[in-house]
Structure 1
Amino acid sequence: MSDEAATRWKSTTGPDQEVWLPRPGDVIAGRYQLEHSIGDGGMGAVVAARHLQLGEPLAVKFLHPRLAADAASVERFFREARAASRIKSEHVIRVHDVGMTEHGLPYIAMELLEGADLGQLVARGPLPIPLAVDCVLQASEALAEAHAAGIVHRDIKPSNLWLAQRRDGSALVKVLDFGISKLASVEGDAKLTETQAVFGSPAYMSPEQIRSAKRVDHRTDVWALGVVLYELLSAHVPFDADNVAGVLAAITADRPHPIHAFRPEVPPALEKLVLACLVKDPARRASLNDLASGLRPFATPSGLLSADRIDRADKPSVSLIPPAARPSVPAFAVTETVLDLAPTRRRRMWLFGSSIGGIVLLGLGALALRAWLASTGPVSTPLSRSATAEPSDAPSAEHSTFESPPPPPVTSATRVGIVPSATASAEPPPEPTPQPRPPRIRPVPSASQPVRPAPPTTAPPISEDRR
């Protein structure tokens, strides 16, 4: 380490810190080489360092040995570091690592920032209204995500809001010391001013935080944001007194000083919004959504983006930790199943429908055929005759529903139904050759063949012997 760095290290540390704080050039955890001090106080110290393997600059924060001896303080130190690492907003300082040194000092390795905190800027005078509004909106965006994760900062003040620059030159606000102010409530630490020397100040505490720092919620951060915005616009705090007790009494009982008394050009609507954040009753105090919506008319396009994100993230009851993944069927498997089973189901339904339709058609056809046969009855078949043919039996009436053709004229030799005598030829007449059934056409008798009524069909034929 150079002499300049060593001199700067000693100039920022007191005698007590020189005893417990690691020296410049020391290597922490085998990978963080300390370079120079950034700041220190009653709670600990922050030192600039460099990662030996990556060559990346970073900051290392150490907890004071007085607090490191308390197991509850150490646990809260690490728990808040883990909570800050869960917030993925660009407006929250990134935490890289936590651990213990060889001498038992808890440390947090975090992002090293370039720029200045808002406390240093406001010490020079009030900020331009658009810049002050954008800084509060960006800090509110970080707090909205923290509140959604159930984390309350409890130490919002200008010195904990770091103003840096993006690569495009736009302003970027980072919230520091996330949740470290919880260590201010360590039992046995009665020096409020010493505890708040680095991590907070009574001027930014809400009335409920003054009564009980352990029983506050996200609304105490809204109060602190109102105090910060008041100070950025006017370079004054809303409650002032000669001592800490007077400040605490003014916060709990007095009305804030009007902003226009310090800066007349502040719009009345903006001043009214600040006062809405400083309502002593937390139930009637403005929310982060109210603050973001009220600041829109005074914000730049970058600030409007933060306001939009606040509207989506300001849900304190919702955790940022994703729920456990449920087992599910991959999308490609579902697609293959649908493509494989859909045609089979359609084919089965088509075959089932076709079978039912065929059965119905067959039944209707059978019914139609039966009705047709009942209406028409059996069809008679006329016998063909030749001029020399022997007489043949007439068709029976039980097989025909049409009028039978007129019988041929009866002669002495033949008669329908008469058995031939003994003098007749013993050779029976040849049986007629069966002919194919002609169409059902009623024969029309010729003029030479007289039409005679058909013989009665009910009486049996009379044989010659019975006579």
Structure 2
Amino acid sequence: MGRHDPLIDTMAGNYRLVARLGAGGMGEVYKGVHGQIGSKVAIKLLHAMAARDNSLQQRFLLEAKAVNRIEHPGIVKVIDAGRTDGGRPFLVMELLEGASLHELRKEGKLTISEACRSMVDVLDALAAAHAAGVIHRDLKPANLFRTREGRTVVLDFGVAKLMANDAPVRLTMTGSAVGTPHYMAPEQIRGEPATPSVDIYAAGVVLFELLCGRRPFDNTDDESVMVGHLERRPPPPRALEPAIPIAVQDLILAALQKDPAKRPRSALAMRDALRAATDGVASSAVREPPSSASIPTLAATPSAKAPRPSRLRTLALVGAALFALLGVILIVYAAKRSRADRAASEPTVAKPAVPVDALFATCAQLVTIDPVGVADAQHAAVQAAFFQRCAEDRWDVAVIHCFVTVTTVVDLARCIGALTPDQRDRLESALDVKPKIAESIGDAKSMVSIQSYPSGAAISIDGVQLGKTPWAGQLPLANAIVEFAMPGYKPRSASINVRGDRPNVLKVVLIRARRAEDTELSSPYR
């Protein structure tokens, strides 16, 4: 039996909490019943820990202010607000029955046409929100709810941005990159001022997910997801779900443009385009098969009879087709037999195998004459020979010395970095008798590229300053912790395992530091 929820049967204003419906980032949602008239509502309470933070309390109440600006059936209204006896702020909202689009997608209960119609409802609600000066900033399937009547509504304006020109409201946020990484627009990730276009981008991600069963950038870690939004192209939706109409795919890809100016100009424009595409789906792809009653019976209408072809003519056509197919088969067989006969008559010339020792001896002899030329010409061959020796577990110093002499000139790191930990241990043991060679191995480096969003961050390793991003240079083959610092952004660190057998690229997204002016609402689109 589960643990009893201490809030059940407690009061939130005039409402008794009777069941827990769910929880989100800032609060918990309960079903409430009015103590006198019995009306049922949804009550959202701020988390107990968050209720101790005055700025988070203001953010919580900002949701009520945001949604009550919007007059639209697709936006759940806040009926009342208050505090519990324990001091926790709460909002009273319309109680909905149905399921979120996230739940419906996971259960496979959304067809293409249904998903498109739901998003038409969402975009219609967003258009009303934008017209009222409100940007949602956290649109995702979990925040979109489809009622039993088939109406899709937008929930959770907890991180909404007001664009009003009335009295400024100042709140302290945890950073400018507000939202859920999988649905954030590139400019939102960079911490730039939010505009309605961030909701259009998120709507494109949501529609992509509902139709394809996955998000365009579906990595498990937030860093890779945000880098995907910043610089990678999303896969074409029809490559994942061929049944998606071309017009719908084009609209999704337009909404996912990195440049806000290239996206649909408004939620209203995207709604109209999707509605047109959905009408096409409804009239063709989702057409019901005809019933037997609707199929005309030709025998009942003599004038509608189709002329019956001659049976002899039909047999003649079938015979001709079979004869032609047999001819094609014979031609193909003859061509293959001719090629096989020619190959059998030609002498087979075996390619002589180059012994590993001979290859190393040749390289060792030539390296004294032209080190750079030998390295450039023989590098791939030396690598192959070196790895063959590793596989044979032969670690004699002469071979290792020859390898180091030749390949240090260009890219020693590529070979050493490809060794397994066990092979590296064996190599180091063999090199113990030759300290000078071991020192060369220890100094092996590989090219590394380090980028940050935004660029211009100072980077360092073990207190040694490397420069500013974007940065490229040689680093030793090892695991390195890179420190990032930039005025106005939170300092952070990231690790990279520098290897020689692959490109070494480190990309991080910097988050703005806390500052009060991040949510000043005195100017539009701030």
| TM-score (norm: length of structure 2) | 0.49
- Look up the match of 2:111: 128
Alignment check: 8 A CA contact 1:122 1:232 kept: yes
1:418-438 CA distance string (max 9 Å, x none): xxxxxxxxxxxxxxxxxxxxx
Give per-residue Cα distances to partners, 1:230-259, cap 9 Å, x unaligned: 111111111122311000101100000111
RMSD: 2.8
Q: Which residue in the other structure is 1:386 paired with?
A: none
Matched, 1:99 2:99: no
Matched letter for residue 271 of structure 2: A
Using the TM superposition, give the Cα deviation of residue 297 of structure 1 relative to its aligned residue in structure 2, in angstroms. Answer: 2.6
Q: CA deviation at 1:47?
A: 1.0
Distance change >3 Å, CA 42–CA 297, structure 1 → 2: closer
Q: How far has the Cα of 1:289 moved from its partner?
A: 3.0
What per-residue deviation string (whole Å, max 9, x for no partner) do you get for residues 396-424 of structure 1? Answer: xxxxxxxxxxxxxxxxxxxxxxxxxxxxx
- Corresponding residue for 2:98? 115
Q: How far apart, in 2, do the equivalents of 1:110 and 1:180 lie?
A: 17
TM-fit CA distance, 1:82: 2.2
Residue of structure 2 equivalent to 1:35 = 18
Alignment pair present for 1:70 and 2:49: no
Compare relative contact order (CA 8 Å, sep 6+) and give the higher one, 1 or 2: 2
**1:233 is the counterpart of 2:233:** no
Question: 2:152 is matched by which residue type in structure 1?
Answer: V
Pair 1:227–1:8, CA change in 2 (3 A) = farther
Report the 3-state secondary structure (helix = DSSP H, G, I; strand = E; otherwise coil) of the residue aligned with 1:125: coil
Provide the identity percentage. 39
Q: How far apart are residue 41 of structure 1 and its match?
A: 4.0
Q: Are residue 244 (structure 1) and residue 222 (structure 2) matched?
A: yes
What SS does the aligned partner of 2:258 have? coil
Superposition pairs of residues 262-411 of structure 1, within 5 angstroms: 262-286=240-264, 287-299=266-278
Say if 2:55 and 2:172, in contact at 8 Å, map to a contact too.
no
**Partners of 2:60 and 2:7 in 1: CA distance:** 22
What is the aligned length?
A: 274
SS at match of 2:68: helix
Answer whether contact 1:151 1:179 (CA < 8 A) is retained: no
Runs of 4+ in 1 over 4 A off after TM superposition: 7-10, 185-190
Q: 8 Å contact 2:29–2:43 — kept in the other structure?
A: yes
Deviation of the 1:123 alpha carbon? 1.1
Q: In structure 2, what is the Cα distance between the partners aligned to 1:72 and 1:188?
A: 8
1:294–1:41 distance in 2 versus 1, CA, 3 Å? closer
Alignment of 1:411-430 (within 5 A): none
Q: Are 2:7 and 1:23 equivalent residues in the alignment?
A: yes
- Report what 1:210 is aligned to: 189
- What displacement does 1:98 show? 0.6
The answer to whether the 8 Å contact 2:74/2:121 transfers is yes
Residues in 2 aligned to 1:137 and 1:108: alpha-carbon distance in whole angstroms: 27
Shift of 1:188: 7.8
Alignment correspondent of 1:253: 231
Cα distance in 1, alignment partners of residues 91 and 2 from structure 2: 22
Q: CA deviation at 1:202?
A: 1.0
Residue 429 (structure 1) aligns with: none
Structure 1 residue 145 and structure 2 residue 148: aligned? no
Looking at structure 2, the residues matched to 82 and 54 of structure 1 have their Cα atoms a distance apart, in angstroms, of 26
Distance 1:178 1:188 in 2: 15
1:22-64 CA-to-partner distances (Å, cap 9, x unmatched) read 52111122x1101111112442211111011221111111112
Aligned counterpart in structure 2 of residue 50 of structure 1, from 27, 30, 33: 33
For residues 113 and 256 of structure 1, do their structure 2 counterparts lie closer, same or farther at Cα, with a shift above 3 Å needed? same
**Which has the larger share of strand?**
2
Q: In structure 2, what residue type is equivalent to 1:82?
A: K
Report the secondary structure of 1:24's partner residue.
coil
Distance in 2 (CA, whole Å) between partners of 1:186 and 1:252 is: 27
Letter of the 1:59 counterpart: A
Which deviates more, 233-242 or 270-279?
233-242
Segments of 5+ residues of structure 1 without an aligned counterpart are: 1-6, 11-17, 304-318, 320-467
Over 3 Å counting, the alpha-carbon distance change for 1:142 and 1:113 in structure 2 is same
Corresponding residue for residue 403 of structure 1: none
**Which range moved further: 99-108 or 286-295?**
286-295
What are the Cα deviations for residues 435-467 of structure 1, in whole angstroms up to 9, with x where unaligned? xxxxxxxxxxxxxxxxxxxxxxxxxxxxxxxxx
Match of 2:200 among 216, 222, 229: 222
SS in 2 for 1:131: helix
Q: Which residue of 2 aligns with 1:451?
A: none
Which residue of the other structure, out of 144, 153, 156, is the alignment partner of 1:177? 156
Query: What amino acid maps onto 2:200 in structure 1?
Result: V
